[in-house]
Structure 1
Amino acid sequence: MTAGATVAGREIPPPPDERARARSRKRASRRNVGSALLFLSPWIIGFVVFTAWPLIYSAYLSLTDYDVINDPRFVGFENFAELVSDPKVALALANTFLFTAVQVPLYVIVSLALALLLQRASRSAGFFRTIFFLPKMTPPVAVGILFLLLFNGQNGVINQVLGWFGIDGPAWTTDPNWIKPGLIMMSLWTVAASVIILLAALQNVPEELYESARLDGAGFWRQSFSVTLPLISPALFFIIVVNTIAGLQTFDEAYTAFFGAGNTTYSNDAALFYVIYLFQQAFEFLNMGYASAMAWLLFGLIMIVTAVQLIVSRRLVYYEGEAPR
């Protein structure tokens, strides 16, 4: 008769040795769970203290009028209603989306071009990888100061180089039409991480696929669009998503260059990105409730943009073992 069987509607308990083994397995399972939680506890505590709690508290503050000095006063959705009528919010969003829409494709193109060059430089690839990665180590504040030095309209290095070719360089830091192009060019200073990711993806493309394509008469461009891009599309998609999120949160370089302490020389509406305006509301005007509402609006916009990218990726991104759709 098997353990746990029923006779005349009554369940017969398992033998004592089997019950002991079951209790032993349960104790071992609890010990394993306890050990796992112990090792995960630093991350769990850090997540709760530095991520989960600030998220919950900022959601509460977004429904209040709070100036840091006085206690929060509940105002419902007034902060969100004010976002709709605030012209500076619309300006900051327009600047941010325009910057991101231009910067991300350029960032990806430059990263891919450099990765392709590094792939061909077989012997010296390590040296050039180091050289390309060094700018990534530059602090963002230093990049913002460097922007003012390089793109100064009168004696900046960029305009001096353009002058060698008879080109009269624009006023990168004072002309509203050229502020964002200058910032976009400066953002390409830190493409190194993306270059390394794409280089690794390129090196994982099987060489026999290129050989087959060449045998079929495919040239460089045909190989690029039919072999290279589909097989590195997961890496490209990752870079696009990450840099889109980063572009929508642009702050450091633009704030340092145009909104730093004592910087009253330049007209900076063209460089007023969304996170900069959020920072001003929170720490300059002490409108913490309004700034929290702005933060949640940005969170929602990033979620929507990322969701759209994920939907589009289903038809454009090919993973290993998948047949092209």
Structure 2
Amino acid sequence: EEYEGFKFVAFCNSIVYEWTNYLISENKGQLKIGPSVANVAVDLLKKMGANTIIFVGQDLAYAGEDSHVEGSDHKEYLKKHAQKPKQMLEVEGINGGKVRTDESFYTYLKWFESYISLNKDVKFINATEGGARIPGAEALTLREALDRYCQKKVNIEKRLANIRNKYAGPSDLDLYEVLEKLRRTREQVLRIKKHSRYGLEKSSVLSGLYKGDEDLPDPRTVRRILKSLDRVDAKIKENQNATQLTLLLFQPFIKSLHHLTLPSSPEESEKEEGQRIASQCVLLYSGLHQTATVAQKLLTEAIRNFEKRFRGLKEVKNNA
């Protein structure tokens, strides 16, 4: 809230990225995902047009038993939270010989190696002055890297301002379309919430039939409930396929619908199998209902913010 400068948003491949593309009907591009934020930062620099990228502090190895510098946030975290012993590896050091690293650092290292091999148009410099050698990156001291590649002054604020000024931003009509998509999505979420609540009620009844010491429940009653749940599933699938946003919100739960009738184990009785399936149904519809409730709240808040900021956009659209 205190920062008043320009804000630039960058996405990796994620649900949020797909939601945003759907809402604005435009693909803004994305950054390559890596196991470390440093990996992602390298791709960001490449996409910003950097033809030389200098690594500093990317030793990706241990100095004795330490993985992070004394006083760093992560170092303090490791002190407070006991960690189980890590699997250690030996890799080639930037100054020759071997250095010790762990599996996490090794994945960062291999990502850099692969990325560098695929981007021959960029010069990569490793000015860390210690730790693991990053294949494909020229090893220089930080002083050498600065003297060779960092002699030209760059007005970063001016460059960012130029980029910001070239961006026209969405029109009022574009924003109104986003608002309409959010409204349609909320309606679908409300329908899913209604159907999942009904499914939860029916599956709870089914679960109750298998509890206690009584014999197996009447098969006709069980079939009637299962048919009701089949209809619920069909209605939920119908609604969640209506827009990409609802698909992404509920996809994990929808996939679970196909795994409810798991085969029984050899030791499992018919009653135990019924109890297991009924319990799975309860968990599924309960999760769907909770997710729909959270989604409804978030969408309502987003819609309210849009309506507050862009009041009157409907009239603008109707008069266009």
Same fold (TM over 0.5): no
Length-normalised TM-score, structure 1: 0.24
Highest RCO, 1 vs 2 (Cα 8 Å, sep ≥ 6): 1
